[in-house]
Amino acid sequence: MVLFEKARKVYDDGTLAVDDLDLEIAKGEIAVLIGPSGCGKTTSLKMVNRLEELTSGRIIVGGEDITSVDPVQLRRKIGYVVQEIALMPHMSVAENIAIVPKLLGWEKKRIQKRVDELLELARLEPTMYRFRLPDQLSGGQKQRIGVLRALAADPEVILMDEPFGALDPISREGLQNELLELQNTVKKTIIFVTHDMEEALRMANKVVIMRQGRIEQMGSPDEIQERPATDFVRNFIGEDRLANISPDSPLDTLVQDPILRVKPGLNASEVLDLMEDEGCETAQVIDRNGKWGGMALLWLLKKASKKGLSAADGVTRERKLLIEEATLRDAAEMLADKDLPIPVVSGTGEFVGIVTQAGIARLTIGRLTRKRREVLD
């Protein structure tokens, strides 16, 4: 369904982002592209719908060379889901889902039927959600609508760029399950970019591990885990990490992105609105240089908001761990005392990420299931 033949992307400044990529993704397959930052995974994804133009080589979608198709028409035939869903705030849920079908000239009755059909597939009651505005939805619900919008015109190919990356672990896992269930019904060809190895192994029929614009290894999740081709792959999938994890292991195995980052200059009331939209009770305050300014807490923000103060006046700076020094034991003890995210910072004050109880649980489950496979083998 999607074929990369020596696909290459070189930017004007000479940066080689994708280097002679050869990859075939079959009809109905979920192919997950993963690798370290700058490996070319997102650029490869964007070349499929010509948001990034090929420098050389070919990409074939449904038997058709993408360069022979007008970019606008091509994008209307390919679904696209990104982390920042960017629903039109003045449009209802139904109107947001219907954007592409309207552009394609579908009849009104056909559009209405399609919108209701998709809402039912996502277990969102049409009569309840059809006329809601985006600001009346939770973060997870917005993400669902973004996926439905990509499916609306019934495209054969859907591109997903870290679609669940901004969600909390529980919402993320729920949406992963929903997408897999939905895929059993719609059977689309999906190219999915993530930085989360657990997500890749869970979602993919085919895992494509990239490094410096090239494919380091690809195969089924079982093949990747059981027969890593190189030391890079072995370390990247975390085999050694899971096998050798101990209470004194460093924190880097647990660090994840927060649900919400805010700038210190925002009003406390603005941050409260953002937290309500995302359904979370904390936010990390980070300045333009990446320096951590504290963790905003709901009850502190409410106090600051009543006085008309900024987000920086509703934070705590006491709860944190240093990435260079802290261990899994330190994080576990702090989380056992209080179930709040733990900000992780560098010795020079840069924000690294957060550690949560759900992150420790996932790591433990990953280790236990790996050990079980070893016993069964």
Q: What percent of the chain has pLDDT over 70?
A: 91
264 vs 251: which has the higher pLDDT = 264
User: What contacts 24+ positions apart, CB below 8 Å, involve 93-96?
Assistant: 93/119, 93/124, 93/129, 93/130, 93/131, 93/132, 93/133, 93/134, 93/137, 93/145, 94/130, 94/131, 96/134, 96/145, 96/149
Average pLDDT for the chain = 86
Q: Convert the pLDDT of each residue in 19-66 to its tens digit.
A: 999 999 999 999 999 988 889 999 999 999 999 999 999 999 999 999
Q: Convert the pLDDT of each residue in 342-369 to its tens digit.
A: 999 998 999 988 998 877 776 665 555 5
Q: Which residue has the tokens 């433990």?
A: 364
The pLDDT of 122-150, averaged and rounded, is 87
Q: Which residue has the tokens 């729920």?
A: 174
Whether residue 330 contacts residue 254, with contact meaning beta carbons closer than 8 Å, is answered with no
Look at residue 237 in the predicted model and tell me its pLDDT: 81
298 vs 279: which has the higher pLDDT = 298
Q: Convert the pLDDT of each residue in 191-237 to its tens digit.
A: 999 988 888 988 999 999 999 999 999 999 989 888 899 988 887 88
Look at residue 245 in the predicted model and tell me its pLDDT: 57
Q: Convert the pLDDT of each residue in 85-113 to its tens digit.
A: 678 889 999 999 999 999 999 999 999 99
Q: What is the pTM of this model?
A: 0.63
Walk me through the domains of the chain, giving residue ranges and CATH numbers: 2-239 (3.40.50.300), 251-361 (3.10.580.10)
pLDDT band at 376 (very low <50, low <70, confident <90, very high): very low
**Terminal Cα-to-Cα distance of the chain (whole angstroms):** 35
Look at residue 70 in the predicted model and tell me its pLDDT: 93
pLDDT band at 240 (very low <50, low <70, confident <90, very high): very low
Q: In whole angstroms, how far apart are CA 289 and each of 256, 264, 285, 350, 351?
A: 19, 12, 12, 8, 10
Asked if residue 185 has pLDDT above 90, the reply is no
Cα(321)–Cα(298) distance, integer angstroms: 21
